[in-house]
Amino acid sequence: MSPALASLLALLAAIAISLASRLNVGLVAVPLAWAVGSYAGRGPADVLAGFPASLFVTLAGVTLLFALADSNGTIGTLAARLAALASGRSRLLPVIIFAVACAISTCGPGAIPAVALVAPLAFAMAGPASVPPFLTALMVANGANAGNLSPLSAVGIIANTRMASVGLGGQEFKVWAANFVAHVAVAAVAYAVLIRSVPARRSAVAEPHPDLHRAEWMTILVIGAWIAAVVALGAPIGLAAFAASALLVIAGAADDRLGLKAMPWAAIIMVCGMTMLVTAAERTGGLELFTTLLAALATPATLNGVIAFVTGAISSASSTSGVVLPTFLPTAPGLVQQVGGGDPLAVALSINVGSSLVDVSPLSTLGAICVAAIGHPDAARELFTKLLIWGLSMTLTGAVLCQLFAGGFARI
């Protein structure tokens, strides 16, 4: 067996494990990367060179900063104050839920923390306003996912880093915008169809406006300064996030023990482990072999739609950020070469959008959080079924959207 085939089989085994079990695939990916390297005659130092140190620092820094902001109550308080803007206007509530989830996700935490923060609050407000749980869940999940590929968010960092590794760097705005537009579009359709059952107004009840305390004000100022430093001054995202986190802890505005405990270590291990395995497969020729096989499913005219469908189908029961993006984004240029035509950037945008739209499925984390947040068993069971149907339908929806628009979007 050639090293290329061995590395490809290892990569496919990791994807299968992520689909078929709840095991953190990063734990398996690291020893698989070691095994692939050893089989190809490469030493441990060469295998370890595939560890994404810069990505690790960036993910750890960003997630720590927002874990601190969550643990001291800042994010929850801001979410509650923003959501209170819909007081008495039932049909406006889903729009505000979408906007709040998107804003939180865009600024750094990403979709999963945003949904975890917003979903309980959203369902609590939606019930008295007669907003259907299904519509509420779609607004929460799609809103959070709309901001998920921001260059400040953990998942956006993963996507942009993996794209840059194959010469597609510097496309942060298009990466965010394509994903944002796709999620706004599907959310708008859901709103138009489901809002008809919601009364125009409900009894005006004064919504609570939680006060912002010293620690929360300081956290807002520090995060604002971090965003300004990254966007305006070009500061490295991860290093600047660690500096901001240290400032909050030293100033007594946050507890580092709570922040470190709340960091998504499982997700970080999963992403970094899979990146190591993908790097090993790339260096041994496995990724080239993978793109050759995948290219057989498409033509230059259908490549964007096919890759969106394939990644969407895998992502519906797997991790978008931990498995799909690290595995498929580096294949974009190779796919174009193998198929004989196409735009690598359009293919990469299709991978991003196709794999993200399905995340509202209850088999994925975002949908699962929404189902868990609703509370009542019967309502949760009904919501599970509806989200499952919606999530599966997004594999086709994503394919159609990417087939029609990804090429044009890439050329803007």
Would you state the structure tokens that stand for residue 255, as one six-digit string?
């507890």
| Predicted pLDDT of residue 61 | 87
Q: Quote the pLDDT of residue 75.
A: 76
Phi, psi values for residue 229, rounded to 5°: -65, -40
365 CB-near residues (< 8 Å, 6+ apart): 112, 115, 319, 359
The most distant pair of C-alpha atoms in the chain lies apart, rounded to whole Å, by: 72
Task: Give me the helix-helix angle, 265-283 and 53-71, nearest 10°.
Answer: 170
Those residues of the chain that have pLDDT short of 70 are 79, 82-83, 86-88, 200-208, 210, 317-318, 363, 375
* Composition of the chain by helix, strand, coil, percent to 5: 75, 0, 25
- pLDDT for position 338: 85
DSSP state of 285: T
Cα 399 from Cα 377, distance rounded (Å):
33
Rounded to whole angstroms, how far apart are CA atoms 35 and 8?
Answer: 12
The ranges assigned to domains in the chain are: 3-411
Q: What is the DSSP letter of 296?
A: T
pLDDT value at residue 205: 46
pLDDT value for 204? 47
Q: What is the dihedral of CA 247, 250, 254, 259, to 10 degrees?
A: 80
Element (H, E) at 365: helix 365-374
Give one word for 236, left, alpha or beta, with left for phi > 0 and alpha for psi -120 to 50.
beta
Could you read off the pLDDT of 292-314 as tens digits, one per residue?
A: 777 777 888 999 999 999 888 88
